[in-house]
Amino acid sequence: MNTVAIIDYGASNLRSVCKALEHVAEGSQKIIVSDQAERILAADRVVFPGQGAIGQCMGSLVDKGLDAVLRECIINKPFLGICMGLQTLMRESDEDGGVSGLNIIPGKVVKFADAARDENGDVYKIPHMGWNNVSQTQAHPLWKGIADQERFYFVHSFYVEPELQADIAASTDYVVDFTSAVARDNLFAVQFHPEKSQRAGLQLLQNFLSW
């Protein structure tokens, strides 16, 4: 039986991601949550979810030796990043006074502008929290069965700015037209939370398990 490893670096939403994956796997794949390098490296697929601040996230990854593990997994097996699991892939982040990321995807993480206003003059609320449309910018197996402009659930104050257009798999309009998914080789990562996005989110997770 194939194994899917969820990276445990101390994030608070691991259980919801685990339950969602168990639901779509229907017993066909074993879902584990682990911070042990050998278990993660032995898994067939890897999911890196997370929420919170990138400084704490990267510090925990380095302390546990999981930064090197993640780099190896991203090269060798299907990898899904969720929220913080997307942002840490960038070279650097403006959050927490400036933090170096894994530097897998060229680009940086920046904060939404404060006090930005929409076309009606209303101030955008930060963090960006709630449902929003995702515009698919490239075809990908993880979009199978998911309509373009489908709505997914977001919770974030920072967003990624990849340097290469080829790495962008989707965008979303909030304050700016920001990148909400990236894809490269066997890596796919999203800013939204599929585990909180009902049917479309479960479809994306199911697509990952069969990718």
Tell me phi and psi for residue 84, to 5 degrees.
-60, -30
**Catalytic residue list:** 83, 193, 195
**Three-class SS of residue 47?**
strand
pLDDT, one tens digit per residue, over 14-23 is: 899 999 999 9
pLDDT, one tens digit per residue, over 106-126 is: 999 999 998 889 888 899 999
CA gyration radius, the chain: 16
Name the residue among 9, 190, 179 with its Cα closest to residue 107: 179
CA distance 29 to 44: 10
pLDDT, one tens digit per residue, over 40-53 is: 999 999 999 988 89
| Residue-level pLDDT at 50 | 84
Mean pLDDT, rounded, for 165-169: 98
CA distance 95 to 99: 7
Contact status, residue 77 vs residue 43, Cβ threshold 8 Å: yes
Domains belonging to the chain, first-starting first, are 3-210 (3.40.50.880)
Token representation of residue 176? 């700016």
| Residue-level pLDDT at 51 | 82
Q: Is the pLDDT of residue 12 over 70?
A: no
Mean pLDDT, rounded, for 85-89: 96
